[in-house]
Structure 1
Amino acid sequence: MKIILISLDTLRASRLSGYGYGKPTSPYLDRIAEQGVTFEKAYAADIPTEVAHTGIFTGKIGLSTGIVSHGSGLTHLPKTTAWLPTMLRKAGFTTAAVDNLYQLKEWFARGYRYYMNSSGEKRWIDGRTVNDLAMPWLKEHKDENFFLFLHYWDTHTPYLPPEDYVSRFYESGRDPYDSRHTSMEAAYNHLAYPFFKHHHYDLVEGVTDSAYYDALYDAEIRYLDDRLQELDEHLEQIGIREETLVILFGDHGESLTEHDIYWDHCGLYEPTVHVPIIMRWPGRMSAGRRVQGLVQQVDLLPTILEAVRQEAPEGIDLSKLEDPAGLDGFSLWPTIQGTADHTHETIYLSECAWQASRGIRTERYKYIHTYDSGPFTRPDCELYDLETDPEETVNLANELPELTASFERQLKEWVAAKLDGREDPMQVQLQEAGLPFRRRIEEILASVGITWEEWLADPRRERFDSAVRNNHS
């Protein structure tokens, strides 16, 4: 049995043509979906990358593992925590990863017989690098029972796709550097500007048209789509495509200026928490099935374990693959087989990086409670009717106070039940270290002689750029 689990970092579901987007960003992903199962309402319960992947490999949400923050020095995952690659390796699978999350936290390398670090001299990782490492490994181990984790970063900032991809998504004859455009001003004068100047804007210097950044994101999706086609054709060439369970997922999405978030992944709004999940396993799944109910990423671990138990491959010790105690995820197999249309009535959402907030997503409503808004302006409570307001533009918290209060009680009761007397790791983070990403901005500001309080009072691009020039003159 062969399993390939593929993380498509920062891939927003609604930007895929197979999820209803009007531009041809993902023709090959659409083809894979037509051959397998698409989950239309899949959610990242914990964002961003560190907490999302921890949940996927444990089958548990952040409140269960204690990992709720991204980039925090306070977090630690005990080695006693059940971990998917470790379980599979102990059962007899050859385990491998092409990934670089080990550089973020050590636990991401646990359980692998082969760990191929995809990082190069630059932070940005090209999907071709991932394929260049993965494809020879696949050929060498094609006759074994294996689990391979692949992590593609193409749709993460900075967006640097080949130029011929950009022209497919940006209006011909339009100048992204025309001084008459004003759509970038809000991004350039945002409190988070110092961070993105260094990690994004300086690499695509002088853009005045925000539509160009959106086009770069679309181009990155299309470039990634071509790399996935390359990988899939390799599976065919080495003769294992028909026996391989392929699972593709987004760890979180991306906001493209919505809610005052500029080409980044924070906020518990749909652009960031609604992610693609697509599976294909020829002969074991009905082709073209679309699951319409709520599911979430922590469902992947019990789904994989059940798939192995169903297949019962020779040489694998199934006694090592019982579901760990305390899982928050449920197997997706009832939805795959058509006996259910969801795994969850309610998805509970959480973030603690740029800002700290928790939320509730039901079929109809989204409720968000913000504890620390970081570099953003947020009300304490937000309530959206997703049936009438799918873009979450009208906050109904004051108009529907009883419903808002009901969701707030539900959220508090759920958090208390999950903690079961333990300290809330989000509150510990805020009290002992603050928001991890605000710290990054403070460090950048300090390097040019600006305090956080001074920046809050006057967050202008020109002011920061002038301080940078003066500091280096």
Structure 2
Amino acid sequence: MKIIMISLDTMRASRLGCYGYAKPTSPYIDEIASQGVLFENAYAADIPTEVAHTGIFTGKVGLTTGVVSHGSELGVLPKSTEWLPTMLRSAGFTTGAVDNLYQLKEWFARGYRYYINSVGGKRWIDGRTINDLAKPWIRDHKDEDFFLFLHYWDPHTPYLPPERYISPFYEAGRNPYDPSNRSMEAAYNHMAYPFFKHHHYDLLGSVTDADYINALYDAEVRYLDDLLRELDGYLEEQGIREVTLLVLFGDHGESLTEHGIYWDHCGLYEPTVHVPVIMRWPEAVPAGRRVKGLVQQVDLMPTVLEAARMAALSGIDAARLAAPAGLDGRSLWNAIRGESDRTHEAVYLSECAWQAARGIRTERYKFIRTHDAGPFSRPPRELYDLHADPEETVNLAETYAETADALERQLDGWVSAKLQGRQDPMERQLQELGLPFRNRIEKILEGVGLTWEEWLRDPQRERFDALHAQKAHGRVPGAAK
């Protein structure tokens, strides 16, 4: 048996054809979905990248592991926590990864016999690098029972797809740098601008058309789709496609200007927390199945373990593949077989990076409570009727106060049950270190001689750019060295 889990970093479900998108971003992903099972309402319980992947490989949400933030020194995963690659390796699978999350936290390399760090000389990791590193490994281990984790970053900022992928998504003759187009003003004058200037905007030039940046995101998705086509073709060439369990998942999605979030993955809104999950295994997964009910990423660990037990492989110790006690995830196999249409009646949501918030998503409603809005403006409570308002534009927290109160009580009860008297790691993060991404902005501002409070009062792009340019020429009074 071969198991390949593929993280499609920053992949928004609603930007894929198999999830209803009309533009041609994903013809091959759509084909994979038609050959297996697609989960229509899969959710990232914890965002962004660090906490999402920690949950995927432990089968536990952040409140269970204690890892709730991203890039924080307070986040530590005990070595006693069961970890999917470690379990598979101990059972006899050859384990490998093409990934760079080890750069973030050491635990992402646990359990791998072969960990190929995809970080190279380029500023960003192109999916071409992932394919070029993965294919020789697959060739060398194709006769073994293996587990391979591949981490593609192509839909993530900065959106820098090959030029030929842009034209299907951006109107011919339209000028993305037209000075009369004012659609980028809100993004350029946002509180988070200092961070994105370096990490995104400067790499694209002085874009004035927000639609162009959205088109670049779509082009990145299509580029990745072609890379997955190439990878799958290689599995066929090596004669292992039919015996491979292929799992595609998004760690989180991406907001493309919705809710005042400009090309980033924060906020517990659908563009960021609704993610694709697709599985194909010709030996056991029925083709064309679509599961409509709520599932979440932490369901993947027990699902993969059950699949490995189902394979009944000689040389594999099935006793070591039993799902550990205390998982928040539940195996998806009942849903895959059509015996159920969900694994959860409600999914609980959390973030603690750009902003700190928790939420609950039921079949109809979403309730969000913001603890710290960071560089955003957020009401303390939000309630959305996803049947009537799928884009979450009308906050009903006051209009339907009883519904909001009931969901808040449910959320509070869940948090209390998870903590069991322990300190809330989100509260600790906010009290001791603050929001990680606000801290990043503060350091950038310090470098040009501004404080957070000054920026808060006057977050103007032109002002920051002028100070940044002066700093580059050594002319900023009091700038940090």
- State the TM-score, normalizing by the size of structure 1: 1.00
Deviation at 1:280, TM superposition (A): 0.2
2:409 counterpart SS class: helix
Residue 204 (structure 2) aligns with: 204
Residue 330 (structure 2) aligns with: 330
Deviation at 1:471, TM superposition (A): 1.6
Residue 213 (structure 1) aligns with: 213
1:454 counterpart SS class: helix
Give the alignment of 1:267-278 within 5 angstroms: 267-278=267-278
Residue 350 (structure 1) aligns with: 350
Deviation at 1:401, TM superposition (A): 1.0
2:376 counterpart SS class: coil
Deviation at 1:121, TM superposition (A): 2.1
Residue 149 (structure 1) aligns with: 149
| Structure 1 unpaired stretches of 5+ | none
What's the CA shift string for 1:136-191, capped at 9, x where partnerless? 11011000000000000000000000111001100111000000100000000000
Deviation at 1:410, TM superposition (A): 1.1
**Structure 1 Cα separation of the partners of residues 368 and 200 of structure 2:** 28
1:438 counterpart SS class: helix
**Structure 2 Cα separation of the partners of residues 207 and 276 of structure 1:** 30
What's the CA shift string for 1:390-433, capped at 9, x where partnerless? 00000000101111111111111110110001000000000000
Give the alignment of 1:52-131 within 5 angstroms: 52-131=52-131
**Structure 2 Cα separation of the partners of residues 10 and 85 of structure 1:** 22
Residue 175 (structure 1) aligns with: 175
1:220 counterpart SS class: helix
**Structure 2 Cα separation of the partners of residues 455 and 401 of structure 1:** 35
1:201 counterpart SS class: helix
Residue 289 (structure 2) aligns with: 289
**Structure 2 Cα separation of the partners of residues 221 and 408 of structure 1:** 36
**Structure 2 Cα separation of the partners of residues 402 and 121 of structure 1:** 55
**Structure 1 Cα separation of the partners of residues 249 and 38 of structure 2:** 10
What's the CA shift string for 1:284-334, capped at 9, x where partnerless? 111010000000000000000111111111110011111111000000000
**Structure 2 Cα separation of the partners of residues 453 and 191 of structure 1:** 11
**Structure 2 Cα separation of the partners of residues 98 and 337 of structure 1:** 31
2:275 counterpart SS class: strand
What's the CA shift string for 1:258-284, capped at 9, x where partnerless? 000000000000000000000000131
What's the CA shift string for 1:356-385, capped at 9, x where partnerless? 000000010000000000000000000000
User: Deviation above 4 Å: which 4+ runs of structure 1?
Assistant: none
Give the alignment of 1:218-367 within 5 angstroms: 218-367=218-367
* AA at the equivalent of 1:188: Y
Residue 139 (structure 1) aligns with: 139
**Structure 2 Cα separation of the partners of residues 122 and 220 of structure 1:** 17
Residue 191 (structure 1) aligns with: 191
Deviation at 1:457, TM superposition (A): 0.2
The number of residues matched between the two structures is 473
**Structure 2 Cα separation of the partners of residues 351 and 472 of structure 1:** 35
* AA at the equivalent of 1:71: G
Deviation at 1:123, TM superposition (A): 3.5
Deviation at 1:345, TM superposition (A): 0.2
**Structure 2 Cα separation of the partners of residues 220 and 20 of structure 1:** 18
Deviation at 1:247, TM superposition (A): 0.2
The CA RMSD over aligned residues, in Å, is 0.5
Residue 447 (structure 1) aligns with: 447
1:134 counterpart SS class: helix
**Structure 1 Cα separation of the partners of residues 123 and 349 of structure 2:** 28
| Structure 2 unpaired stretches of 5+ | 474-481
What's the CA shift string for 1:89-129, capped at 9, x where partnerless? 00000000000000000000000000001111234111110
2:406 counterpart SS class: helix
* AA at the equivalent of 1:256: L
* AA at the equivalent of 2:307: A
